[in-house]
Structure 1
Amino acid sequence: MASISRGKSNWANASARSKARKAGLIDSTQMRQLLLQEPDAMASSISEMGYRADLDLYATRLSGADLVEAALNHNMDRDLNQVLRFCQGHLGDLVSIYVERYTYQKVKTALRAVRSGVSDEIVSSQVLPEENQANSQWLELVKNSNTLDDAVSALSGTKFGKALSSVEDSNNLMALEDALDRQYYHDATEKLRAGASSHPQLLKYLRTEIDHRNVINLFRALKQGFS
């Protein structure tokens, strides 16, 4: 999904376009109203808030929470690609670094699907809907992998494979996901420290996010009795 931009940054233009898009998002009042609704009613309400095309794409075979989730994920993937296209130069590099996390999330979703052993039909209809082109690569990974070891082997030679190859037990899903998280944050912070993509503010944000994740993991370990 993410790509590196070239040329001069267009901060003012990109900011104006982003603010215009933000104005179309569901506001806090609407969100509170949605939270009081059942999934089917929520889908109907969201369709009137600018998401009708995305909902219509899945409405013939999904309903309720599954419909809402698929439509909103589809909308987000499309929006991220559009934002990447209108951000240029250094700004484009920064946006690309942040957006790359969603690609890593899709890799983890694919690995979970392989680990769970669900059918290809369920994966392509609910987990990684085939209507969303951003899912195509990961659907192929799931379809061609019977085990996590197969998936790890299929990803060899990619940046994801580099992280996964460091895990001793390739059938340990948690360890694989942790390796992917570590690589994303390592690569992102390295790019932001120096060079053409340096940006102290985004670097500080990611470091804070890392601290939050580490604290959460610590609490989970304590709850499970790990020392």
Structure 2
Amino acid sequence: MGKSQAVKYAYIVARVRAMKGKLIPKEMYPKFLNMDIPEITRFIGESEYKNEVDELGKKYRGTDLFEHALNQNLALTYRKLIEVSQNEANYIITEYLRYWDIWNIKTILRGKFSGASEEEILEDVVSAGQLRYRDLLDLIKITSVEGVIAALSKTPYYPALSGYKGVLADIENNLDKLYYANLIKAGENSKDRFFLKFLRTEIDLKNLKILFRMKSAGMEREEILKLLIPGGIELKEAHLGRLAALPFPEFVRALEEYSYWKAIAGVSNDLTSLINIETQLDKYGLVNITRISYYYPLSILPVLDYIVSKKLEVDNLRIIVRGKETKLPEETIKAHLVM
């Protein structure tokens, strides 16, 4: 990496290191398993989530307070990254965080499709992308799927939405493909090979999750191929075509040829739970970005490492609280945590 490139990233990396130091330590998660929900809420109310818990505590209680506090903190944290970054770093971070626009659009459309209340939809949105909280509130107030799509006609997401014919899965898949196609373009425009390598690995992991889900559901090859996202680093188009065609047991054996096999080898004998597979793939993704960011400390990678780690912190807290609320066994909750 050239000196000028390193200098460009020095400030944002220093900020991110300080922010990462405030993440909840891994050793706390087993302790959370021994606490009840009010105790966990008190703990996060004395941590980086204090402002959100204090503010939202006037309106919400119990798990509602927990959910809203996590989402608001995540949104504000990611917005801070956009505000303190400049030039190329700002461009890449902004494009990567459009994930949350995609998440929110899917959440709102699903809510409208299923007849969920405005409050239920609001609980799951995270205003960390380019669509602001006001924008999301306006979309949530619209009563139909078609109305929401029409309201998004002037956004970059409309090309993925305009072909809606009553099947939400189709436009959700279009949104994912649009997001990753634009991200690859952003990586190529910035000529940031580190970002591109990270991104192409993320696409592989997403495609593996899709393959496991669809093959375990008995879906045909051609239907699976429509869902897969182009641009992976190991799983090129020909590889995906071959994997999609194989019967489930042979598909699993074929994965031994790829570096991702080590992530799922430990649970490959028990493929009855897709969540176990997806958890292991998420752990692989976290270990991968943490490792490569260590080797390239003055690049976009430490920022991406923090973005991934922060999201997983929120996911882990949510898994613990939802698990406790539904009285899941402690071992089941623990198995779903990504640390």
> Considering the TM-score relative to the shorter chain, is it more than 0.5?
yes
How many angstroms does 1:62 deviate by? 2.2
Q: 1:163 aligned to 2:160?
A: yes
In the TM superposition, what is the alpha-carbon distance from 1:103 to its structure 2 partner? 2.0
Q: Does 1:209 align with 2:202?
A: yes
Instruction: Please tell me whether the aligned partners of residues 70 and 129 of structure 1 are also in contact (alpha carbons under 8 angstroms).
Output: no
User: Against the structure 1 CA distance between its residues 16 and 62, is the aligned structure 2 distance closer, same or farther, given a 3 Å change threshold?
Assistant: same
The answer to whether the 8 Å contact 1:9/1:91 transfers is no
Q: Which residue is 2:52 aligned to?
A: 54
Structure 1 residue 122: Cα displacement? 4.0
Deviations 1:112-168 (A, max 9, x none): 2211212334444x34499xx942212211212x22222222212321111112x35
1:18 is aligned to 16
* Matched pairs, number: 212
Equivalent residues of 2:75, 2:126 under 8 A apart: no
Alignment partner for residue 178 of structure 1, among 159, 173, 176? 173
Q: Which residue matches 2:84?
A: 86
Q: 1:55 to 1:218 in 2, by over 3 A?
A: same
Q: Distance in 2 between matches of 1:107 and 1:36?
A: 36
Q: Give the alignment partner of residue 41 of structure 2, picking from 36, 40, 43.
A: 43
For 1:42 and 1:134, how far apart are their aligned partners in 2?
29
Unaligned runs of 5+ in 2: 1-5, 221-339
Structure of higher CA gyration radius: 2
**Counterpart residue number, 2:101:** 103
Q: Which residue of 1 aligns with 2:69?
A: 71
Aligned mates of 2:132, 2:30 — CA distance in 1: 30
Change (3 A) 1:182 1:68: same
The 8 Å contact of residues 9 and 89 in structure 1, kept in 2 or not, is answered as no
**For residues 166-202 of structure 1, what are the alpha-carbon distances to aligned partners after superposition, in whole Å with 9 as ceiling and x for unaligned?**
x352x22221211111100000001212x3x221111
1:61 deviates by: 3.1
Q: Which residue of 2 is the match for residue 154 of structure 1?
A: 151
Separation in 1 of the partners of 2:56 and 2:164? 40
Q: 216, 219, 226: which is aligned to 2:219? A: 226
**TM-fit CA distance, 1:35:** 3.2
**What's the CA shift string for 1:5-57, capped at 9, x where partnerless?**
xxx97411111111111111111122332233222221111111221110112
Runs of 4+ that moved beyond 4 A: none
Cα distance in 2 for residues equivalent to 1:112 and 1:147:
10
1:55–1:68 contact (8 Å) kept in structure 2: yes
Are the aligned partners of 1:10 and 1:87 in contact in 2 as well (CA < 8 Å)?
no
Unaligned runs of 5+ in 1: 1-7
Identity in percent:
28
Query: CA distance change for structure 1 residues 25 and 219 in 2, over 3 Å: closer, same or farther?
Result: same
Q: Which residue of 1 is the match for residue 230 of structure 2?
A: none
From the superposition, tell whether residues 211 and 122 of structure 1 become closer, same or farther in structure 2 (CA, over 3 Å): closer
- How far has the Cα of 1:60 moved from its partner? 2.7
Alpha-carbon RMSD: 2.3
Q: 1:9 to 1:83 in 2, by over 3 A?
A: farther
Q: 2:38·2:62 contact (CA, 8 Å) conserved in 1?
A: yes
- Residues 67-92 of structure 1: CA deviation (Å, up to 9, x unaligned): 22211111111111111111111121
Match of residue 4 from structure 1: none
